[in-house]
Structure 1
Amino acid sequence: MEPNLDKAVDPMPTPRRRTVLAGAAALAAPLLVGGIGATPAQATPKGRRRRHGKRSVLQIAEQGVFAAGGTVQQTPGTFDPINGQMAPAGQTRHSDHASVFYQVPIRDNGHAMQFLHGYGQSRNGWMTTPDGRPGFSDLFLAKGYSVYLADQPRRGQAGQTSVAATIDVTPDDQTWFTQFRMGLWPNFAAGLKFPTDADSLDQFFRQMTPNTGPFDVDVITDAMVASLEESGPATLVTHSQGGIPGWFIAMASKNVEGVIAIEPGSFVFPEGQVPPAIETGYAPVQGSAVSAKEFRRLTRMPIAVYFGDFIPAKPSEVPAWDFWRGVLELAYRFADVVNAHGGDATVVHLPKVGITGNEHFMFQDTNNAQVANHMARWMRRKKLS
């Protein structure tokens, strides 16, 4: 069913300085890191304390940041630090790696989760919400999971690239408002669980960040496989465009023990079994082929594919919404093929399980804890906790 439209966006939000605290620092007072007590409460914006009340305590045993994977380029010649410091001869460039922030809770359940963002996003999207509530990383830390949050190569904190690209500065906020099914600008969808105040929408638009180099599935896959070598066995959680390399990461790494794909951008099928393209008003939706041997690896792990609300059941005149109709249909075909090959794949369409009002960013919506609880129950059933 297409969304009804509710209140309009305030086009001129009141400017306000805000501080976004990542991970447990946003929750813990005191925060225990490696056994050393700290009290970061003074860094928490007062407005957020007033809006969201008393915070619970998260105890962190270990946290840090590391680079995973990547390449090293080197120009011919010998570097001369005296006469040729700015010359290219003999110089190296480390690039195309992922940047991974991780936290391990004291009450560790023995399992990890690796998170990979979608288009125009970074790991920040998992760490908080536009209105300052706990994000998925904190919600799953509280459930005992170690969390590994990646900025994929050529994005965010992993911006060092080996291939140059032009960064487009054309205004496009309203494009993404529509693409992400928040409504039809300037009106929000009725019943939307995204925080619809002007300040939250401003924060959401400001979390977008560009590619510094071309999107490359192989480069991302290699970096994330390296990250999984650091984390050990983990459930891979992908979102949107991140779901495209997500299937290749799961096929390439022995450390992926389960996959939660949140509205992934595409799906893979065994050669000879790619279904016909699904025509939509936006673009044809079609899977890609991999070898039978590669695809077989996806049948050795449980897979859950999550979709939110506001996806039309019939062709829509809104191209972006019609696109998601095609993606959801392809998801069911993907699950059928995985299961026909002896795998364990399920599609969770949230409105069908009684969770409503979610658009493309279900992990940032006001009911994100409810969504996280549903995923946690799935992981418990699959022995991933």
Structure 2
Amino acid sequence: MDGVTRQAPPVLADQGFFWVGVEREERAGGLMAAGQMFVQYMVPAARRHALPVVMVHGGGGQGLDYLGTPDGRPGWATAFLRHGYAVYVVDRTALGRSPYHPELHGPLGPPPTYGLMRGRFVAPELTPDAYPQAVLHTQWPGGTAVGDPVLDQFMAGQGPSVADLARVHADIQRCAAALLDRIGPAVLVTHSAGGSFGWLAADARPGQVRAILAVEPQGPPFAAAPGGELSWGLTAVPMRFDPPAAAPGEIGRELRAAPRPGLQDCFVQAEPARQLPNLREVPVAVVTAEASWKAAEDHGMVDFLRQAGVPAEHLRLEEHGLRGNGHMMMIERNSDEIAALLCDWIRRRAA
């Protein structure tokens, strides 16, 4: 948009796209492709890191959440390219450039409204009683009134998701495994409802996931979510536990008190806790913004992961001098500074 200062784009050695996880389903009209996940890739000419980064969007978003910002700046994909990483940006099944049809994918949930998205993502500070951290939000890159062009650009890219959470997670795991089978070892950057991609990919292909940056992942553990419940703790579909669990009800849970005021109590496993053996060698960072509603609950995800033997740490942006961010930190004013923090973490922690 007007007034945005632009750097020269990074020089690419290669770029392209493909789909993974293509299934074939027979319907009355004939044999059809279904369940696929779109993948766009970009490889910088000045590549400095062997491991590529896979970027996975959240809820009703799409890969464009990483390609640019609604006020016209380059997105995290460009920032990571400038830091020397090859980047793979996905559109999860039935979202974005992965075609949706109700006969193949099931019904959708409701479309997002301006009111919902403004209160959750754009301007939580306008409803400061919603949660304790809402008043701290300052980083939205445009106006907040209906009719603002930046707000319209953001809303235009948001849509409904498939209504059945278990089906969403099953598609995620199948497509994540297929992607890693094709590209090999990678670092995963996941966001929000795409957070299950990291846990399920590492569970299905533990040797291929070298690190996970879970940006405000869906949770907290065992929580109700749109279309279902995280009945397996982190996911709505089975994961491998040790000792094994044949059904979600076998995983005991207990409420752990919040570590300080302003945070909420969250469920963890009842002791002795089952372990997640396929994630025990995978460095994980849960990344949380200062002014998101997730600031009050993401500690629960970290507690669950550590309890299950996963080497997880909590990156709270404000502890690194990055203040005022909300849930959509990758499109906010200081998105490049946040990307630099994440790239530094990968450099230090990913083998």
TM-score bracket relative to the smaller structure:
0.7 to 0.9
Q: For residue 51 of structure 1, what is the aligned residue in structure 2? A: 3
Q: 1:57 to 1:122 in 2, by over 3 A?
A: closer
AA matched with 2:340: N
Post-superposition Cα deviations, 1:29-56, rounded to whole Å, max 9, x if no partner, equal: xxxxxxxxxxxxxxxxxxx3x5223422
Q: For residue 79 of structure 1, what is the aligned residue in structure 2? A: none
Q: Percent identity?
A: 25
AA matched with 2:333: T
SS at match of 1:202: helix
Q: Which runs of 5+ in 2 are unaligned?
A: 129-133, 222-232, 235-240, 246-250, 259-263
- Contact 1:331–1:347 (Cα < 8 Å) also in 2: no
Q: 1:93 to 1:191 in 2, by over 3 A?
A: closer
AA matched with 1:175: L
- C-alpha deviation, 1:94, in angstroms: 0.7
Post-superposition Cα deviations, 1:207-250, rounded to whole Å, max 9, x if no partner, equal: 10223564421111101211122221111111001113431122
- C-alpha deviation, 1:144, in angstroms: 1.2
Post-superposition Cα deviations, 1:118-157, rounded to whole Å, max 9, x if no partner, equal: 1110001000011111100000011111111111111111
Aligned length: 304
- Correspondence 1:256 to 2:209: yes
- Correspondence 1:276 to 2:255: yes
Post-superposition Cα deviations, 1:196-216, rounded to whole Å, max 9, x if no partner, equal: 333212211111022356442
SS at match of 1:180: helix
- C-alpha deviation, 1:352, in angstroms: 2.0
- C-alpha deviation, 1:180, in angstroms: 2.9
- Contact 1:228–1:255 (Cα < 8 Å) also in 2: yes
- Contact 2:286–2:298 (Cα < 8 Å) also in 1: no
Supply the distance in 1 between the matched residues of 2:13 and 2:289 (Cα, whole angstroms). 34
AA matched with 1:333: D
- Contact 2:216–2:286 (Cα < 8 Å) also in 1: yes
Q: Which runs of 5+ in 1 are unaligned?
A: 1-47, 76-87, 312-320
Q: For residue 106 of structure 1, what is the aligned residue in structure 2? A: 45
- Correspondence 1:200 to 2:167: no
Q: For residue 308 of structure 1, what is the aligned residue in structure 2? A: 289
Q: 1:287 to 1:229 in 2, by over 3 A?
A: farther
Supply the distance in 2 between the matched residues of 1:189 and 1:359 (Cα, whole angstroms). 11
Q: For residue 174 of structure 1, what is the aligned residue in structure 2? A: 115
Q: 1:349 to 1:330 in 2, by over 3 A?
A: same
Q: For residue 218 of structure 1, what is the aligned residue in structure 2? A: 170
Q: For residue 90 of structure 2, what is the aligned residue in structure 1? A: 150
Supply the distance in 2 between the matched residues of 1:205 and 1:194 (Cα, whole angstroms). 13
Post-superposition Cα deviations, 1:61-94, rounded to whole Å, max 9, x if no partner, equal: 111111101321125xxxxxxxxxxxx36x2011
Supply the distance in 1 between the matched residues of 2:281 and 2:15 (Cα, whole angstroms). 30
- Correspondence 1:95 to 2:74: no
- Contact 1:174–1:185 (Cα < 8 Å) also in 2: no
Q: 1:331 to 1:182 in 2, by over 3 A?
A: farther
TM-score (norm 1): 0.71
- C-alpha deviation, 1:185, in angstroms: 4.4
Q: 1:201 to 1:292 in 2, by over 3 A?
A: same
Q: For residue 226 of structure 2, what is the aligned residue in structure 1? A: none
Runs of 4 or more off by more than 6 Å in structure 1?
A: none
Supply the distance in 2 between the matched residues of 1:112 and 1:238 (Cα, whole angstroms). 14
Supply the distance in 1 between the matched residues of 2:268 and 2:153 (Cα, whole angstroms). 33
Q: 1:336 to 1:167 in 2, by over 3 A?
A: closer
Supply the distance in 2 between the matched residues of 1:326 and 1:244 (Cα, whole angstroms). 19
- Contact 1:304–1:347 (Cα < 8 Å) also in 2: yes
Moved more, 154-163 or 201-210: 154-163
AA matched with 2:24: V
Moved more, 200-209 or 299-308: 200-209
Query: Whose radius of gyration is greater, 1 or 2?
Result: 1
- Correspondence 1:183 to 2:124: yes
CA RMSD across the alignment: 2.9
